Chains A and B, each alone.
Chain A
Amino acid sequence: MSHPSYRRVAVTGAAMSKFAKRPNDATHDIAWPVIKQAIQMSGFDRREIQAAYCGSAFGGRLVGQRALRPLGMLGVPVVNCENACSSGATAFREAWLAVAAGLYDVVLVIGVDKLTALGGGVLPGQAECHEVAVGLSMPALYAMRARRYMHEHGVKVEQLAQVAVKAHRHGARNPMAQFRTEITVEEVLASRPVAEPFTLMQCCPTGDGAGAVVICAADRIPAMGGRAPIWVAGTHLTSGIYTPGIRDMTTPEITVRGAKALYEEIGIGPDDIDLAEVHDAFTIAELLYYEAFGFCERGGAVDLLMSGNSSIGGRIPVNPCGGLLCKGHPVGATGVAQIVEIVTQLRGEAEARQVEGARVGLAHCTGGGIAGLDHGACAITVLTR
């Protein structure tokens, strides 16, 4: 939520690691090179960073301090944020709030996770959750959404698989992506089943990685070697509404509500967005989010996908980096990495995956399975050039 007295905030530095399986690297060794790169890009000296906000879902305690210690940067306030898949995006929002409200002028945001430390497979659920206790997992939850959506809108598995094909077509152009190869519908459907209708290639991979950005108040923009500051038009964080009874799983309540609130707050609509990074943890998710953000009508997501208008070169390119499906999803890193991608795109530095003329980009990070909620958390940020 914004406030008339809030200051304008800009991103000046943004960097991420290649997402990959790095079981032999410590979490702090995944994070510090990225933090160093972001600060060097930002135009600030490390001693000008007044606070750090770190998002991590599975990194354990004091992840921010562990990441900053190798850089000799401690002694400032460090806020560690856990909000499931939205951990990094939540850290960004809290950092933005601190700068916008005047608490600090220059702040670092980190997102990092090392999922290979969990041993692979499906992410652990909350054992205390009664739905997890009877066999629910994130793939199964999204799979149930998918099956209902397919039932109601007459969608075929081949069309669902096209989301993964598009993700890999984009990700093949992204040197930071976990996968760099294009795939076919046949390959997607022939990969091993995980939770029907999903095969492996319709699920984001486990992996390790980090992202970091430096933000500052408008009156503290430093020289950045010719790079433009990228402005935070608005950022919105919310939690899912507890709806324990019968509810429609084919429309993502938390994202629909968050998108509407942010659009109204900053006075834009879906037609003003030039590109979007949405939380495509599974193929169905990207389709649901086309509709949630108003990029198409309800039930029109497959048509939007198949038209090519959500691809690079189309009307509203979605996940030009490859998205979670192809770039990867080290959970706490994702929200920050999405911001990095938008900043890179708005600066015109995305090379082979560049969305030409992009001036407004949206990043959307939601997740966390809790019974009775669409998702636990959802953070949406709009950045402008």
Chain B
Amino acid sequence: MSEDSTAAEQIWAVPDAIDHDSDGVPRLVAGHCAHCVATYYPRPQLCPTCWSEDVRKVMLPRVGRLYSYSVVHTGRAGWQTPYLLGAVDFPEINTRVVGVLKGPPDWRPALDSSVRVGVGQICSDAKGAPVFAHQFHLEN
């Protein structure tokens, strides 16, 4: 990355999958089919259910429920281990999102805990540049 990189040049693990509320709180962006109302994360260009190409942006709730997770000790290049990786459910619109969990050292969250959507660096790319994505934090 150049010295004068801006936020717009940040590298995102999943492109176009984060937006923000007016108060600056990050939200995950999914796709909602205008024709058959199915929801997909990340937002696809085509609805796999009905083939409509009118798949509109929908924000997922700020808080999800932790379905399961692992503490990953053997990561790929660019990842600092160990890291927590979880599958988080948003039952309101039947969507599951996998992502890094951020918490205190040695954190082992209880399944079905509420977790809050955040954003941060998750790893580095092959050139050492930071890669950003959604992260989940324990909801207080």
Stretch at the interface among B1-9, B19-27, B35-43, B51-59: B35-43
Q: Are B133 and A192 in contact (CB under 8 A)?
A: no
Residues of B within 8 A of A (CB): 13-14, 17, 39-42, 48, 67-76, 79, 82-83, 85-87, 89, 91, 94-96, 98-100, 111, 122-123, 133-134
Interface size class of A (residues with CB under 8 A): 20 to 34
Q: Are B69 and A147 in contact (CB under 8 A)?
A: yes
Closest chain B residue to A130, Cβ basis: B14
Select which of B67, B76, B100 is within 8 A of A148 by beta carbon. Answer: B67
* Cα-based distance from A151 to B48 in the complex (angstroms): 32
Q: How far is the CB of A140 from chain B (nearest CB, A)?
A: 5
* Interface SS majority for chain A: loop
Q: List 11 A-B contacts (CB under 8 A).
A: A130-B42, A133-B13, A135-B99, A137-B74, A140-B72, A144-B87, A147-B69, A195-B70, A195-B71, A246-B95, A249-B68
Q: Are B67 and A193 in contact (CB under 8 A)?
A: no
Known: A130-B13, A147-B111. A135 touches B75 (CB 8 A): yes
Q: How far is the CB of B66 from chain A (nearest CB, A)?
A: 10
Q: Are B41 and A196 in contact (CB under 8 A)?
A: no
Q: Are B99 and A134 in contact (CB under 8 A)?
A: yes
Which 10 A-B residue pairings sit nearest by Cβ, starting from the closest? A143-B70, A245-B94, A144-B68, A196-B71, A133-B13, A148-B68, A193-B73, A195-B70, A131-B98, A130-B14
Q: Are B96 and A244 in contact (CB under 8 A)?
A: yes
Q: Are B40 and A244 in contact (CB under 8 A)?
A: yes
Contacts of A245 in B (CB 8 A): 39, 94-96
Contacts of A137 in B (CB 8 A): 72, 74-76
* Cα-based distance from A299 to B88 in the complex (angstroms): 23
* Residue A121 CB within 8 A of the other chain: yes
Most B C-beta atoms less than 10 A away, residue of A135, A136, A192 = A135
Residues of A within 8 A of B (CB): 121-122, 124-125, 130-131, 133-137, 139-140, 143-145, 147-148, 151, 192-198, 242, 244-247, 249, 371
Q: How far is the CB of B121 from chain A (nearest CB, A)?
A: 12
Closest chain A residue to B91, Cβ basis: A246
Q: Are A140 and B70 in contact (CB under 8 A)?
A: yes
Q: How far is the CB of A10 from chain B (nearest CB, A)?
A: 41
Contacts of A242 in B (CB 8 A): 48
Q: Are B96 and A196 in contact (CB under 8 A)?
A: no
Q: How far is the CB of A86 from chain B (nearest CB, A)?
A: 22
Q: Are A194 and B96 in contact (CB under 8 A)?
A: no
Contacts of B14 in A (CB 8 A): 130, 133-134
* Cα-based distance from A72 to B134 in the complex (angstroms): 55
Q: How far is the CB of B59 from chain A (nearest CB, A)?
A: 16
Q: Are B74 and A121 in contact (CB under 8 A)?
A: yes
Contacts of B99 in A (CB 8 A): 134-135
Q: Are A144 and B100 in contact (CB under 8 A)?
A: no
* Cα-based distance from A344 to B132 in the complex (angstroms): 52
Contacts of A197 in B (CB 8 A): 70
